[in-house]
Amino acid sequence: MDALLPVLKSHPGPSVLVFSLLFRVVHRLLQRLPVPKVVKQNDLYSWKWRNLSVSMVHSLLTGSWALTCALVWPETLSNIHSYHTPLSYLLVCVSTGYFVQDAGDIILTGHARASWEFLIHHALVIWCFLYTLYTQLYVAGAVIALFVEVNSVTLHLRLMLKLAGAQSSSTYYINKFANLFTYVTFRLSTQFYLTWYIVHNYSWLDHGGYFLSSMIVMNIMILIYFYRLLRADFWSQSSVRQNGTLNNNSRKFLSD
Burial class (CB in 10 A: 0-12, 13-18, 19+), 96: buried
Report the percent of the chain where pLDDT is more than 70: 91
Mean pLDDT of 156-176: 95
Helix-then-strand count for the chain, H and E: 12, 0
Its pTM stands at 0.89
Q: Which of 252, 255, 211, 256 is nearest to 116 (CA)?
A: 252
Q: Where are the domains of the chain?
A: 4-235
- Convert 145-176 to b/e letters by CB count within 10 Å (16 or more is b): bbbbbbbbbbbbbbbbbbbbbbbeeeebeebb
What mean pLDDT, rounded, does the chain reach? 90
Are 65 and 115 spatial neighbours (Cβ–Cβ below 8 Å)?
A: no
Mean pLDDT of 137-151: 97
Mean pLDDT of 71-93: 95
pLDDT in tens, 221-252: 999 999 999 999 998 655 444 344 444 444 44
How wide is the angle at C-alpha 103 spanned by C-alphas 124 and 100, nearest 5°?
Answer: 75
pLDDT at 1 over 70: no
Residue 8: its pLDDT value, please? Answer: 79
Mean pLDDT of 31-53: 93
Give me the long-range contacts of 164-171 (CB less than 8 A, separation at least 24).
Answer: 164/36, 164/38, 164/39, 165/36, 165/38, 165/243, 165/244, 165/245, 166/244, 167/240, 167/244, 168/240, 168/244
